[in-house]
Structure 1
């Protein structure tokens, strides 16, 4: 296929648009006519047969595997002009950096073209249901996002970060890849991108089979509002969980760090910083199930906690994880300190002696750009008390910000007491922002990397109210 100059290609596109706009352009219910249309119109830019070629030998993306690649609703929206441009700098950016507008047709005609593409333009290399996402979780999607960034994929592909476009716009955007691409095609493409576009700058990443699953799942769900993430803590494993079995698992695996009775005094504890959580002083029955599941199944690092906490999911299996969490929730309810805590305010240590490490230079001089308006304070309160992930702040810092939350007594060093004005007046906005975003090494304070900048600032506004 010839690589036409940009000006000539624009003429082809213009002619196509005019053809689509003619009165009475409606096909009969005849697949052959749809095929003829595709062969006469679409192939002026796209190939629908042949072997994979370099982008630099093509006019537009190949469509010979479009039926395996694209979801039907997206195809219809694309053909009717209801989808955003996916090549921000044009497919052939070496010839022009201005993206070209795709011709449009009526919805009725677009549906016929989409049906034909889904039926006939199939890639035998893409196996149906080659990846199962029925048990794909929201946390796994975040793992996939991290791997996508870690393996430099955002050098060419843009994704949304903190509500803004992030990454290089050289190749196709991934803002709503889950609405556009099928999961099976994403998996096959990720396995070996040059199989589809050789000699075009496509990158082969050194990623494990599990990592491939995470990245594929991330791309297959990104922007797809209809996708429902699996919530394992609502599964049959938890309905059938047995505390007696969980006690045995705790003794076999957990007590080496957390101690036989949850006192944080297992044989490994003496060499660990931060120290293992003291479960016997924590009200684990008040912790959200998703947090407990994620920290046990995927490990401390997965939720911004200590990397010394292993990921037990592969070892214990789904039922084992459910059993040990059930045992922990039934056994560890905070002891005497939690029994005395409800309704009391300002009981935390003040001043609080700490040697917290200073945050990096990029955070150090930040100033809160937001004003303590009722709306911002309400948003901060929602995050602190309920919505922040991986866990609501009050679980450690307490509902009143005094460091006496359900998990506070079992943490060493103890959580920050935000009610202590003597301490809080010396902590800058930048320090609070950096600790919230990156966590605090040597403590149990996790990183809240998923919060948007505005949310972090709203949270800081609310936190400062405790000492005012």
Structure 2
């Protein structure tokens, strides 16, 4: 919620007048109240009342009235309440009573009514809407849902694709099916879809782990193509990149799609069309510049399942580039 609130905070131009801290730096216009320590200064209930109509509190002050929905406002407040608070303890909605009461039979009904329109009745990504979508809907039949991080699974269903850097064609279902519906659908997904035993059984006839993979990847702007990695290929930089790749990159670790070995055989990889890049393919990787890799990691790749990692500081992206380079054979 806090991450989604940060996106809404920027989308509704709050950054124009209020400062926050991002990656160790203050950003935003220093015109109105500074919010980088908002979590230490404000009460969430007061902020909610203020956010519903700021001009009731500060008339004729130039305070902006945003066209934000109530869920967006609540998310923005969640974002503000973590500002300046070290080791903030986040609420985990998947520990709520709705998840304790989740039922697979109800989730099956919801899946048929809503999810199957894109993902197909049997989760093969062949629903009636799929033919007109790019990127293609995830092939649920190929995903071992019980192995996915619950935080990721909850956020992509509850808040929609953009909340985790995925396609905006994936709707936010929280208002439509409610918290109980989200819990029921997740229960159904975990029981029904167990993934494929071998990533070689890939969608569309493409082989998982294929070396040179056909792509229509957008070319980075010239200013990026000219860049070379400013970090040396040291053991420290590569290890830092490995930690990001396997565990800590957000919104999801790279290995989830690209595989722990970098061969494109991650547990989510078989669900994607086209399949994830195989970083072990030296003949392919030698033709991709450092700047192109940096730009794709930061901005994602349109028409694929590659999400943008806009929140990663530049240094961490370069560490990832060094580690990915080390995988090539």
Q: What TM-score, normalized by structure 1, do the two folds share?
A: 0.65
1:262 aligned onto 2:123:
yes
SS state at 1:335 partner: coil
Q: 1:415 to 1:302 in 2, by over 3 A?
A: same
TM-fit CA distance, 1:442: 0.5
Distance 1:169 1:367 in 2: 35
1:309 aligned onto 2:170:
yes
The one of 288, 291, 295 aligned to 1:427:
288
SS state at 1:160 partner: strand
The one of 269, 272, 279 aligned to 1:418:
279
Bigger Rg, structure 1 or 2 = 1
Distance 1:361 1:235 in 2: 49
Find the counterpart in structure 1 of residue 152 from structure 2.
Answer: 291
The one of 76, 79, 104 aligned to 1:215:
76
Is the contact between residue 281 and residue 337 of structure 1 (CA under 8 Å) also seen in structure 2? no
* CA offset digits 1:315-366 (Å, max 9, x no partner): 222122112112212222222325999xxxx971111111101134564433
1:319 aligned onto 2:180:
yes
Distance 1:462 1:190 in 2: 44
* CA offset digits 1:205-251 (Å, max 9, x no partner): 33233322222232223122364221112222223322232222222
The one of 445, 449, 454 aligned to 2:310:
449
The one of 69, 73, 96 aligned to 1:235:
96
1:182 aligned onto 2:75:
no
1:438 aligned onto 2:299:
yes
Is the contact between residue 283 and residue 338 of structure 1 (CA under 8 Å) also seen in structure 2? no
Q: 1:242 to 1:178 in 2, by over 3 A?
A: same
Q: 1:410 to 1:347 in 2, by over 3 A?
A: closer
Distance 1:208 1:323 in 2: 25
Distance 2:199 2:161 in 1: 24
Q: 1:188 to 1:281 in 2, by over 3 A?
A: closer
SS state at 1:319 partner: helix
TM-fit CA distance, 1:447: 1.4
Q: 1:361 to 1:202 in 2, by over 3 A?
A: farther
TM-fit CA distance, 1:299: 1.3
Distance 1:373 1:277 in 2: 37
Q: How many residues align?
A: 325
Is the contact between residue 284 and residue 334 of structure 1 (CA under 8 Å) also seen in structure 2? yes
Distance 2:163 2:100 in 1: 25
Find the counterpart in structure 2 of residue 155 from structure 1.
Answer: 16
TM-fit CA distance, 1:389: 1.7
Distance 1:255 1:195 in 2: 45
Q: 1:360 to 1:188 in 2, by over 3 A?
A: farther
Q: 1:392 to 1:226 in 2, by over 3 A?
A: closer
Distance 1:337 1:225 in 2: 43
Q: 1:402 to 1:204 in 2, by over 3 A?
A: same
Is the contact between residue 281 and residue 328 of structure 2 (CA under 8 Å) also seen in structure 1? yes
* CA offset digits 1:238-275 (Å, max 9, x no partner): 23322232222222222221112111111211111111
The one of 198, 214, 218 aligned to 1:353:
214
Is the contact between residue 208 and residue 275 of structure 2 (CA under 8 Å) also seen in structure 1? no
Is the contact between residue 3 and residue 163 of structure 2 (CA under 8 Å) also seen in structure 1? no
Distance 2:127 2:58 in 1: 54
Give ranges in structure 2 of 5+ residues lacking alignment: none
Q: Looking at both structures, which has the greater relative contact order when contacts are Cα pairs under 8 Å and sequence separation is at least 6?
A: 2
Distance 2:238 2:151 in 1: 26
SS state at 2:198 partner: helix
Q: 1:363 to 1:172 in 2, by over 3 A?
A: farther
Q: 1:211 to 1:459 in 2, by over 3 A?
A: same
Give ranges in structure 1 of 5+ residues lacking alignment: 1-139
Q: What TM-score, normalized by structure 2, do the two folds share?
A: 0.90
Q: 1:382 to 1:272 in 2, by over 3 A?
A: same
Distance 1:360 1:160 in 2: 28
